[in-house]
Amino acid sequence: MIKDITLGQYFPSDSIIHRLDPRFKIVIMIVYMIMLFSGDSLICLGIGTLYTLISVVMTKISFKLYIKSIKPIFPFLIFTALLNIFFIKDGDIYFQWKFIKITSSGVDTSIFMIVRIVLLLIGTSVLTYTTSPIVLTDAIERLLNPLKKIKFPVHELAMIMSIALRFIPTLIEETDKIISAQKARGAELDSGNLIAKTKGLIPILIPLLISSFRRAEELATAMECRCYNGGDGRTRLRQMKSGISDYIALFFTVLFFIAVIIINHIIK
């Protein structure tokens, strides 16, 4: 069933990370990403891994869930790693047989790539597991607020995003219902070749589209009736307050980042 797909992947809890100001979390995430890609020695990679592990432990969310977030891209990781190993020909040769040549540089690149991507995914999961998508959207809106001055539609984009989040579960439920209804009329949805399968989607997509338009229209009227008039002059129920722990978190992240830069510099 489509219903079983969990969206947003938010796991409510009361850890320190959960309680951080979402705006800080986003900024920290950006610093973290830069950190991962600024060091090219194993020590730097180690520091990144250490930082990630500390954060993961602090979220109080089972490690298994983090593994789950990497799983889907695992085959892709292996594939690119192999490409790197076989096609980078610089550096010391570890192994050579006929046209196959494995070099130190190839192995290094592969390891760095895999570790970085894994860390990046886990880091993103730390953010999305501890922050509900709606809060995240809100935080992004507030961070991007200065862009309003250059007429960038910050509020509009955030509103679109949050309405989408609001209606995803509703639409999933609706899709389920339409699928059942068409199946009851003998529709075959998962058999035949690609063309037959695509054709089989029409009885589902058309009703879904029509109902989405209807919903959009009704929602627009309802919003107007509640005095919606764009983002100007709006106040918010959700307050975002930054506290000492937010600054401490940012401080430590920057500290790790500086450590990476310095070590990287020394080793070179």
Residues that bind another protein (CB under 8 A): 4, 132, 134, 162-163, 165-166, 169-170, 173-174, 177-178, 180-188, 202-203, 206-207, 210-211, 214-215, 218-219, 221-229, 233-239
CB 190 within 8 A of CB 179: no
**Minimum distance from residue 236 beta carbon to another protein (Å):** 6
The whole-angstrom separation of Cα 172 and Cα 121 is 26
Cα→Cα distances 205→26, 73, 181, 202, Å: 36, 28, 13, 5
Maximum CA pair distance of the chain? 75
C-beta of 62 vs 96, nearer to another protein: 62
Give the nearest distance from C-beta 150 to another protein in angstroms. Answer: 23
Minimum distance, C-beta of residue 57 to another protein, in the bound complex (Å): 24
- DSSP state letters, 78-100: HHHHHHHHHH---S-EEEEETTE
CA nearest 78: which of 86, 66, 69, 67? 86
For residues 142 and 121, the answer to whether their CB atoms sit within 8 Å is no
By beta-carbon proximity to another protein, the closer residue of 115 and 240 is: 240
Smallest distance from another protein to CB 21, Å: 17
151/236 with CB nearer another protein: 236
Helix/strand number for the chain, H first, E second: 10, 2
For 146, the enclosing helix (H) or strand (E) is none
CB nearer another protein, residue 184 or residue 194: 184
**Nearest distance from C-beta of residue 195 to another protein, angstroms:** 17
CA dist., res. 126 & res. 242, Å (int): 19
CB closer to another protein out of 9 and 132: 132
**Segment holding 101, helix H or strand E:** strand 100-103
CA angle 136, 244, 25 (to 5 degrees): 20
Minimum distance from residue 227 beta carbon to another protein (Å): 4
Shortest Cβ 142–another protein spacing (Å)? 14
Task: Pick between residue 151 and residue 234 the one whose CB is nearest to another protein.
Answer: 234
* 8 Å CB contact between 82 and 138: no
Q: Which is nearer to another protein, 181 or 255 (CB)?
A: 181
